[in-house]
A and B are shown apart, each in its own frame.
Chain A
Amino acid sequence: MVDTGLIKRCQQGEGEAFDELYQTYATKALRTAYLLVGNKNIAEDIMQEAFFECYRDIKKLRTPELFQVWFNRLLVRISWRMASRERKVIYESLNANDMERLPDRQDVLEVVEANQESQVIRQAINKLSIPLRTTMILYYYNDMSVKEISQIMNCFQGTVKSRLLNGRKKLARELKSKPGNLSIRMMPGCLKKESVTHE
C-alpha cells in the first residue's frame, strides 16, 4: 500500500520524505533491477538512476496512489536502457555456467545458490527475452497485477497475459531440458492460462 502522504511530501520537496521513500523502496528496487539485469553493480546504478529521476520528476506524478506503477516504469526503462548498453557484461553475469570464472566473486548469486531447483528456475528466467523476463519478474517477484504490468510496460493486458503464458512455456521447456531435475518438469497442467491469478 502506497503511503500517499509520503509521496505528497516528496512532491513538495521535503528532504526527509525523500530519505524515507528511499528507505521504503530502495531494497525492492535494487532486487528488481538485479533480477532484470543479473549484475549487482549495474543493478545499483539502475536503482540510483531510478531514485534520481524519481526525485527530479516526482512533481509530475498526478496520482500519488500510482507511485509504484510510475516508479517501476522508471526502473524498468532504466534497466532496459542499461541492459542494452551493458549487454556483454550482463550476458556474462547471467550465464550461470561461467559464474565461477567471473571476476566479481562477491556476486550474490554465488553466495545464495543453495537450492538447485531455484537455481535452475532463475537460469531459465534469465534466458527469457527481456519483455518476457520483465513480465515474469514484475508478476512473480513484485506481485504486480496484469493491469499494473500493462501500465508499466505500456502494452495491453492481453499482451501481459500472453507473455506470462509464453514465459511459463519457455520456462517449462528449459526445465525439461535439464537432465535429472526437477519435480516441476513433469507438470503437464502448469501452462494453463487460468494460472494467472493476481489480476
Chain B
Amino acid sequence: MNKQAQLEKSIKAALLQGVETLEADMNCLKKIKYRINTEKEGRKERIMKRINDHFYDLKSKVKRPAVLVCSIAVAAVLMCTFIQPVRVLAQEGINKIASMVYVVVKEESGKYEMAQVSAEDVYIGYCEGNTTVLNDKELAKEVGFDFNAPQALEGGYELADNSVIQVDGSDKKEISKLYRKEKSRLVLSITDQNYLLQVAKENGDNRKEVQVENNTLYYCERPLPVYPIIEKNGVKTNDVTQKPTGIKVIHSLTWEYNGVYYKLDDMGDGIPLDELKNAAKSVISYQIATP
C-alpha cells in the first residue's frame, strides 16, 4: 500500500472509529413524528382559522347559520343551475359521506388557494336550485315576499332565466335572476333575509361602500371554487370531494330596498365595477319607479 493510500485509509478509520458507538434510537423517530403531527395540526388550525375568518364567522353572529353559510353554496349552485336550466342542482351534505373536502382559503399573500380539509371541520350547506317559468307575481307568491326587478339591465343585459333557491335548514327561498349580454352574465339574487348584506358588510374581501341613486351599496369580492359536477340519482351536484378546476372571484354589489335584499354579482366573469354599478343603478331606478 502506498503512503497516500495509507493516509486515506487512516482518515477513514479515524472517522469511523470516532462515531462507531453512535446509534440513532427510536425515541428520536417518536419526537420527529410528534413534531410532524404537531405541524400538521398547526397547519390545519391555520387553514381552519382562515376558513372561519373568510366564510363562516357569521355563524356566531346570526341565528340561521345554515342559511348564511350557504351564501357561497348558492353561488356555486347558481353557476350550474343556469347552465342546466331544466335540472335541479344541489350541493349535498357531503360531510355525511366524504372524509375530505376542498375549500378555498385566502393566503396571507392575499391569494386564494385550495385546501383539502376534513369534512367534519367545515359546515357544508345544502341548497337546491330550480329554474322556473313563473312570472314575477307568481314568484313573489312562491317565495313569500314582494320584490322589484327589471327585465333588462343597463349595459345591454337581458333577463335570460329565473331560478328559485331553497336552502336546507331554512323554510325561506331565494330568487335568482340571470341576465345575459353575449357571454357576460349578471345574477341578481333577491331575499328577505339579511344575510346577503351581512356577508357584503362583514365577510367579503376588498369591501367598500358605493353610492348609487342616493342608496348605499356594498361592494365585495368572494372566491368561488369551481367544483367538478357529477350526476347522482339524476341530480347534478357540485362534488366538493374533488379538487376544484379553478377559483373564480365574484364581484358583487348588495343593497336593501323596502325590506328586501338584493345582490348583483358577475359570477366571476370579471365585469368591471363601473359596469356593475350601472347595472345596479338600473335595478334601483326600476325599483324607485315601480312602487
**Given A52-B32, A141-B12, A35 and B19 contact (CB-CB distance below 8 Å):** yes
Residues of A within 8 A of B2 (CB): 189
Residues of B within 8 A of A111 (CB): 21
Give Cα distance in the complex from A29 to B17, angstroms. Answer: 16
B289 within 8 A of A: no
Residue of B nearest to A50 (CB): B32
B31 near A48 (CB under 8 angstroms)?
yes
Give Cα distance in the complex from A187 to B28, angstroms. Answer: 43
Give Cα distance in the complex from A190 to B3, angstroms. Answer: 6
Residues of A within 8 A of B20 (CB): 112
Residue of B nearest to A29 (CB): B24
Number of interface residues of A (CB under 8 A): 47
Give Cα distance in the complex from A31 to B19, angstroms. Answer: 6
A136 near B10 (CB under 8 angstroms)?
no
In the complex, chain A residues 165-199 whose Cβ is within 8 Å of any chain B Cβ: 168, 171-172, 183-184, 187-192, 195, 197
Chain A interface main SS type: helix
Q: How large is the interface on B (under 10, 10 to 19, 20 to 34, 35 or more residues)?
A: 20 to 34
A47 near B24 (CB under 8 angstroms)?
yes
Give Cα distance in the complex from A128 to B39, angstroms. Answer: 37
A187 near B24 (CB under 8 angstroms)?
no
B17 near A118 (CB under 8 angstroms)?
yes
> Per a CB cutoff under 8 Å, which of B3, B18, B21 touches A118?
B18
Residues of B within 8 A of A109 (CB): 18
> Per a CB cutoff under 8 Å, which of A43, A140, A187, A190 touches B15?
A140
Residue of B nearest to A54 (CB): B32
B12 near A187 (CB under 8 angstroms)?
no
**Given A140-B8, A184-B3, A184-B7, A108 and B22 contact (CB-CB distance below 8 Å):** yes
Residues of A within 8 A of B10 (CB): 117-118, 121, 184
**Given A184-B7, A187-B3, A51 and B32 contact (CB-CB distance below 8 Å):** yes
A63 within 8 A of B: no
Given contacts A19-B29, A43-B22, 17 further A-B contacts (CB under 8 A): A30-B22, A34-B18, A34-B22, A35-B19, A40-B22, A52-B32, A55-B32, A56-B39, A108-B22, A112-B21, A115-B17, A125-B14, A125-B15, A187-B6, A189-B4, A190-B6, A190-B7
Can you identify 14 A-B contacts, CB atoms within 8 angstroms? A26-B24, A27-B22, A27-B24, A52-B32, A108-B18, A112-B17, A114-B17, A118-B17, A122-B18, A125-B15, A140-B11, A141-B19, A184-B6, A187-B6
